[in-house]
Chain A
């Protein structure tokens, strides 16, 4: 919007500038073409104002742009050519100096004088003449040569297939990895360190694999186990422990910037983010192959589901939650720039996590170092903007998919019988309708409830119900009995002349209603859009064309369903699609199954659930119609998104339109029933705060009528959006179309002119094809009719203004035109039958009876599509025509009972409740634009979605359906892609040795570190893929059981320390500080407080008095986090746990595969003075009171804390300390307890506790 305004304003100013310039020219008599003009008025400005940054002499050239020659100007910089000679309006130079575009103002600090701006404009207008001069310089942009970069950097190369090297000390290596390690050491004449002792080893493996210390019993058992596979048994047990998943999930969460709130101002929750955390834990524990795990992250919503064996939940879909764990903003003023920031974070995290390359660096320009182009960046961004957000009911979505498919089959097979039975039940009374109407008329005409005289009807109850119905019908023109009701109470209508006089206006009024409609088959063939003559760009979704969905789901459709082919036949016959370009079919995108497997056709029955009401109606307009079977869905007890959007019940009941650019300011929804719409503009999600409330629209039902609902989206013009619909209540909810239009479109008919035609002359054939075909050309001709309302034209004009790009301006058929033609026909005096056929109330009643009986027949034959509105009315009036207690109703119930039973069994299996998790909701495919300098307002060309060129080449097949993430997942996990396997293998190595083979674990690119052992890395990666089947557990097992892992960390070999001071060659193991989580978990484990429960909602974070700010949780969590492992403490972005922050748990905003290891006083202060630590020390000491022998107690404590017994000196120190401390406390039992607690506290503070040697 602002962009448009800017341009408009630019134009205005430019006109001002021109006049100024014209004035100036005449005054100075100096044509802009002249060299003198250039030298006097242009070159000095360029030189003084621009050359500091944009010249061959600039210290630092900005934006790749030079302005010191005409060629340079024409070539331009990063944002393209600077001038279009002759056209200042198309020249970036002029736009920039005018300072109207806040994203491009030059010179940046202060605007030029108006005269200078005018001069530059005039100069460009004159063709930007520049005197010939030698040595004109054009900025040489370093050519970005992707192929060259790919060739020159190791990470893009295929995995080396180096055989394990020969080594001198053949006895040392146990695994091939060992050979690679010792070979490098031998090159330097170094020896590997001796193996660590068993106590060190079990402590190391236990923390590495489970993040917890071994128990004293485990330590002692291992120490005394003499079997050759003693360590292997330990390692296998550790890998089988559920704590393995917790430990390694925490590593993984660092990569995906895991948090449970969106941060920013009020940090709303990321609802149910913890489900993702638990998913990771489960996946690691069940050793889901890494390629599958990665693919689930990218496209778990599109993959064949991975079903949880116990719960039946779809695990795979939860993986996609990782995309949504980033920061989100509630009221961004620049909503599109905010989107690009969000998407940037997602792409960046994905690139580093899975590929170990910094794709994010190519956002503003081609990557400065790596083989990643800006085109790559935006090609991949397309996957993300094509993929929306939802809270997925992952527990029920797969079971429900089965139910939905079976339900469709069952209904297809029972449909005919149900329709027949309903028709049978209705028909007897429909056959007596004329008499009943006449009798009811009498009732209505007799005041004060005098009993009805019998006028042929022998069913007084029916007459009473009809009378009641007539009262309703009198004010409802949609009711088939309306005409009768209107004249039924009019005096003296028996006499033909008088009747005709009374009937004519009713008929005329009625014709206005009925003639809104066009034949439904027309709509079905061309879509409503064709009927309304909307231009394709106006249509966002058109569910009135069932064709595509019909074709798509052809496999599940039965033969008697009218197929797409037969539709095409009809279309050929009528030639209906001749003059209107066919709009593309709207893809059927749904979360869940609430809107059925496809749009519902005209004439399709609306299935009920009970034998009492087997059908709810007949569908009158092809549309997306909510299936009542799913109305019980309600997710309770799960976290929800903030604001109204979160309150809406949307999971498994959302219909999504494709994405479009909003041309104007409003959308129109053609709907029936109550519903809700969320317009996802630029994928903006958080709707709370001053802006963006307009993205939500909710409406009430207008009875059983269709309506156009307006969704005003002022200030979002030009933005990309799609709409997500969900029902608002238990009732009906149907969506036929979503269009863009400045004004309310006319309401297209939803049934037929059938009744009217019938009333007109007893012609029982419905409005003939010929009639319809003819009416349209006539409408076109009548377009200039003076009587035609102006609204249509005005609307057309405004719509035209909005949708400027439309090749053909849309015009709506002029409804009143049709009406007049028809009314004229109906009352044609030259057609005597039209007057004589219905000349009395009884004739009218009989006509109604005749028509409705025929409709009954059609219902019975499942052919009511052309009479759907009447059929719908009849079916909905079951209580009128087959009242409760009547034999017909009883027969109906008996007959449908067995038919409904299978459907009932299926719907009974529908589970209203489900847990939900953040997940992707695949949309229509959208390609992103290349944004110069990463600025959303500097959009260039669109780039088709594709994976990195350096991996998959420039020519990748076009993505035809949806986002294409499935394809992306396949490319990422393709064994031929050398990045994915290297990255994960390197990460595992990093966690087991404290340093990766490539130290910069998230960046294998040029700015990362080179691998210390490339052959080893490639060997491990290749083996991981081919022989270990991407099994992370197998990989860990093999590494942990190697000689290399076993080595001692003690620096004892002076020569080795000298030759390899940073231990890059791994001549020994690295001493490592434990992570904050492991320190805290170890305290809990040792104190006995650890609750080993797996998974579940986060434990609220304990709030110290220093934790304050917006979004502060209403209550503090427990000091000890309920004794749960640290991974279960709530991760609120603005309220992170101080202890974790102090010990370098990353702030969750970007991939952090390698944590800092800092050394801050806060760490010491926490261990010394934090009440949590003090409390755990106390618990620990209390736990040991059963052991009354102090020396044994000290021994136990050492075993627990350090996996070793104390030395005699340490034991003596402990005794001295305990004695002295007791004295200070004043002796006694309490003093003893306190002293032991103090001793425990000291042990927590000894460095051995927080280091892994």
Chain B
């Protein structure tokens, strides 16, 4: 009952099918895609929209990025930026001028409830909140002088993700895909592993903005149906294969009737990718092959269900890196009040949030390292802003975009480095300020791209992730 070799339902296993498609028809499709123009060019009739791998501007250090997005804004002075002065002046009036805050309900100086200890050869201090990550400090470049431009979650989220505080711009993952394409022909180039929380601003944090839809982030959820519409509705593979075979045949007729046009052929090729995704995704999500040791490392046996969730995401992130996916973003699990956004009950909320992510993140770093993947994988940790060193009400902290901490690891980043500094209170960055645009410039640099040359003409301008700003933070490069 063969219709066409390409979609032979019985003779080939999925894997064989994949191989054949890749070499057969799929290869044709890829060639078509690759023949398209390189990025950065002005509008053409069919805008450049392929995921085929492209040459970076220069030799990249990182092939993939894992962005551990700490939704809500973790407090710098309670995690990686200890401030003895806060402890000394706890409960006293705050010693600096306070800028307007989101709630404008500012209290007195609030010392950190957590103790700090030095770790590793570099001796970087880390608070009790991150005992596992602390073990990896020699791999981290801790940037204590991050600044943002917005005190509101949503603006700050868009800013962190897209370089603009307003809605509708391409997310950094989309830019990475636009610049470099994907190493994996079966999976999207930008994947968001949804741990349960979608940040304020919603899915538009992961969208492709004015870039073609090709580059938008694909949301992966835990479980069998990880990706929208990736599971066939047919009762059996045969039934679907039959349909696809007929479709393929009819499409050939269409090409002969309407002419050999790029658009048509790309569209046909697209089905090959979709078809391959149908098998690639279940294979990706299937953790059976992972050892108990690995699972333990990531905290999959941890007591808190959220730790398990985030651990599974981190493990999945590694699997995606192995498959050449360009940009992976993890969002936090739900269950600690309101993300990292502790306007009150700092102690309880931050403790829970940290427990959800600490062991999984350390597991990810260690696992990547042991597999030799860390060198080519850039891991970035941080939120959209930090928190005020003074209290909101009695026991919370409000948003603080003037100085906060993020860290980077792997992918060409120097380990064991602490860069930049805030003032004595940890309120504002005063040394080596790093703006979000600088972070983006650095990330693109590590991916082998000059952020000033990665442009897309839209709206009468050559748009960039870094707008007209951004400087690579060279001091943290290996």
- The answer to whether B263 and A5 have CB atoms under 8 Å apart is no
Which residues of chain A have C-beta atoms less than 8 A from B260's C-beta? Answer: 1051
- The answer to whether A102 and B165 have CB atoms under 8 Å apart is no
Which residues of chain B have C-beta atoms less than 8 A from A1111's C-beta? Answer: 202
Which residues of chain A have C-beta atoms less than 8 A from B242's C-beta? Answer: 1217, 1220-1221, 1224, 1238
B102 at interface, CB cutoff 8 A: yes
Chain A residue nearest to B435 (CB atoms) is A108
Q: A1071's contact among B155, B261, B432, by CB below 8 Å, is which?
A: B261
Q: A1246's contact among B219, B236, B254, B430, by CB below 8 Å, is which?
A: B254
Q: B459's contact among A327, A999, A1002, by CB below 8 Å, is which?
A: A1002
- The answer to whether B459 and A352 have CB atoms under 8 Å apart is yes
Chain A residue nearest to B258 (CB atoms) is A1253
- The answer to whether B230 and A1169 have CB atoms under 8 Å apart is yes
Range class of the A interface residue count: 35 or more
A333 at interface, CB cutoff 8 A: yes
Which residues of chain A have C-beta atoms less than 8 A from B99's C-beta? Answer: 2, 102
Give the complex CA separation of A1217 and B250 in angstroms. 12
Q: A1224's contact among B104, B229, B239, B259, by CB below 8 Å, is which?
A: B239
- The answer to whether A1062 and B45 have CB atoms under 8 Å apart is yes
- The answer to whether B247 and A1162 have CB atoms under 8 Å apart is no
Summarize B's interface: helix, strand, loop or mixed: loop
Closest CB in chain B relative to A1009 CB, distance in Å: 7
A1165 and B274 contact, Cβ closer than 8 Å, known pairs A345-B166, A1147-B209:
yes
A141 at interface, CB cutoff 8 A: no
Which residues of chain A have C-beta atoms less than 8 A from B227's C-beta? Answer: 1165
B15 at interface, CB cutoff 8 A: no
- In the complex, per-residue mask of B303-327: 1 if CB is within 8 Å of any chain A CB, else 0: 0000000000000000000000000
Give the complex CA separation of A268 and B240 in angstroms. 42
A1009 and B43 contact, Cβ closer than 8 Å, known pairs A1159-B266, A1159-B270:
yes
Chain A residue nearest to B147 (CB atoms) is A102
- The answer to whether A1161 and B273 have CB atoms under 8 Å apart is yes
A329 and B154 contact, Cβ closer than 8 Å, known pairs A358-B461, A1160-B213:
yes
- The answer to whether B199 and A1109 have CB atoms under 8 Å apart is yes
Closest CB in chain A relative to B291 CB, distance in Å: 31
Could you jot down 25 A-B contacts, CB within 8 Å?
A102-B402, A110-B432, A327-B168, A329-B155, A333-B152, A1049-B258, A1071-B258, A1073-B263, A1110-B198, A1133-B202, A1135-B202, A1136-B203, A1141-B213, A1143-B213, A1147-B204, A1147-B207, A1149-B169, A1150-B168, A1154-B43, A1160-B216, A1161-B273, A1162-B229, A1174-B233, A1220-B1, A1251-B267
Q: Select the residue from B194, B218, B228, B268 with max chain A CB neighbours within 10 A.
A: B228
Q: Which 4 A-B pairs have the closest CB atoms?
A: A1149-B168, A1134-B202, A1109-B198, A358-B460
Which residues of chain A have C-beta atoms less than 8 A from B259's C-beta? Answer: 1049-1052, 1071
Within 8 A of B (CB), among A1150-1209: 1150-1152, 1154, 1156-1166, 1168-1171, 1174, 1207, 1209
Within 8 A of A (CB), among B90-108: 97, 99-105
- The answer to whether A1251 and B258 have CB atoms under 8 Å apart is yes
Chain B residue nearest to A1142 (CB atoms) is B213
- The answer to whether A1242 and B267 have CB atoms under 8 Å apart is no
- The answer to whether A690 and B102 have CB atoms under 8 Å apart is yes
Give the complex CA separation of A1108 and B258 in angstroms. 41
A1029 at interface, CB cutoff 8 A: no
- The answer to whether A1247 and B251 have CB atoms under 8 Å apart is yes
Which residues of chain A have C-beta atoms less than 8 A from B240's C-beta? Answer: 1168
Residues on B close to A: CB < 8 A?
A: 1, 42-47, 49-50, 97, 99-105, 150-155, 165-169, 188, 194, 198-204, 207, 209-214, 216, 218-219, 221, 225, 227-233, 236, 238-240, 242-244, 246-247, 249-251, 253-255, 257-261, 263-264, 266-271, 273-275, 277-278, 402, 430-433, 457, 459-461
Q: A109's contact among B154, B168, B402, B431, by CB below 8 Å, is which?
A: B431
- The answer to whether A1217 and B194 have CB atoms under 8 Å apart is no
A301 at interface, CB cutoff 8 A: no
Give the complex CA separation of A1051 and B257 in angstroms. 10
- The answer to whether B153 and A1144 have CB atoms under 8 Å apart is no
- The answer to whether B271 and A264 have CB atoms under 8 Å apart is no
A264 and B201 contact, Cβ closer than 8 Å, known pairs A1147-B209, A1165-B274, A1251-B258:
yes
Closest CB in chain A relative to B219 CB, distance in Å: 5
Give the complex CA separation of A1213 and B211 in angstroms. 39
Which residues of chain A have C-beta atoms less than 8 A from B232's C-beta? Answer: 1168-1169
- The answer to whether A1138 and B268 have CB atoms under 8 Å apart is no
A1062 and B219 contact, Cβ closer than 8 Å, known pairs A263-B204, A1160-B213:
no
A264 and B167 contact, Cβ closer than 8 Å, known pairs A1051-B260, A1210-B250, A1210-B253:
yes
Give the complex CA separation of A1138 and B270 in angstroms. 17
Give the complex CA separation of A1135 and B219 in angstroms. 13
- The answer to whether B270 and A5 have CB atoms under 8 Å apart is no
- The answer to whether A1007 and B49 have CB atoms under 8 Å apart is no
A828 at interface, CB cutoff 8 A: no
- In the complex, per-residue mask of A1228-1253: 1 if CB is within 8 Å of any chain B CB, else 0: 00000000001101110111101101
A1158 and B155 contact, Cβ closer than 8 Å, known pairs A1009-B42, A1109-B203:
no
Q: A1165's contact among B199, B212, B277, by CB below 8 Å, is which?
A: B277
- The answer to whether A341 and B459 have CB atoms under 8 Å apart is no
- The answer to whether A1109 and B202 have CB atoms under 8 Å apart is yes
Chain B residue nearest to A995 (CB atoms) is B45
- The answer to whether A1165 and B229 have CB atoms under 8 Å apart is yes
Which residues of chain B have C-beta atoms less than 8 A from A552's C-beta? Answer: none
- The answer to whether B459 and A1071 have CB atoms under 8 Å apart is no
Chain B residue nearest to A1111 (CB atoms) is B202
Which residues of chain B have C-beta atoms less than 8 A from A1243's C-beta? Answer: 250
A1044 at interface, CB cutoff 8 A: no
Within 8 A of B (CB), among A471-494: none
A1088 at interface, CB cutoff 8 A: no
- The answer to whether B166 and A1149 have CB atoms under 8 Å apart is yes
Give the complex CA separation of A793 and B214 in angstroms. 70
- The answer to whether A1238 and B239 have CB atoms under 8 Å apart is yes
- The answer to whether B273 and A1164 have CB atoms under 8 Å apart is yes
- In the complex, per-residue mask of A254-273: 1 if CB is within 8 Å of any chain B CB, else 0: 00000000011101000000
- The answer to whether A1163 and B239 have CB atoms under 8 Å apart is no
Give the complex CA separation of A757 and B271 in angstroms. 96
Which residues of chain A have C-beta atoms less than 8 A from B104's C-beta? Answer: 690-691, 715
Which residues of chain B have C-beta atoms less than 8 A from A1141's C-beta? Answer: 207, 213, 216
Which residues of chain B have C-beta atoms less than 8 A from A746's C-beta? Answer: none
Which residues of chain B have C-beta atoms less than 8 A from A267's C-beta? Answer: 202
A1209 and B261 contact, Cβ closer than 8 Å, known pairs A691-B102, A1007-B461:
no
Which residues of chain A have C-beta atoms less than 8 A from B250's C-beta? Answer: 1210, 1213, 1242-1243, 1246, 1248
Chain A residue nearest to B457 (CB atoms) is A1007
Closest CB in chain B relative to A1172 CB, distance in Å: 10
- The answer to whether B270 and A1164 have CB atoms under 8 Å apart is yes
Within 8 A of B (CB), among A663-714: 690-691
Which residues of chain B have C-beta atoms less than 8 A from A1105's C-beta? Answer: 221, 225
A265 and B261 contact, Cβ closer than 8 Å, known pairs A333-B100, A715-B104, A1238-B243:
no
- The answer to whether A329 and B152 have CB atoms under 8 Å apart is yes
Which residues of chain B have C-beta atoms less than 8 A from A1169's C-beta? Answer: 229-233
- The answer to whether B236 and A265 have CB atoms under 8 Å apart is no
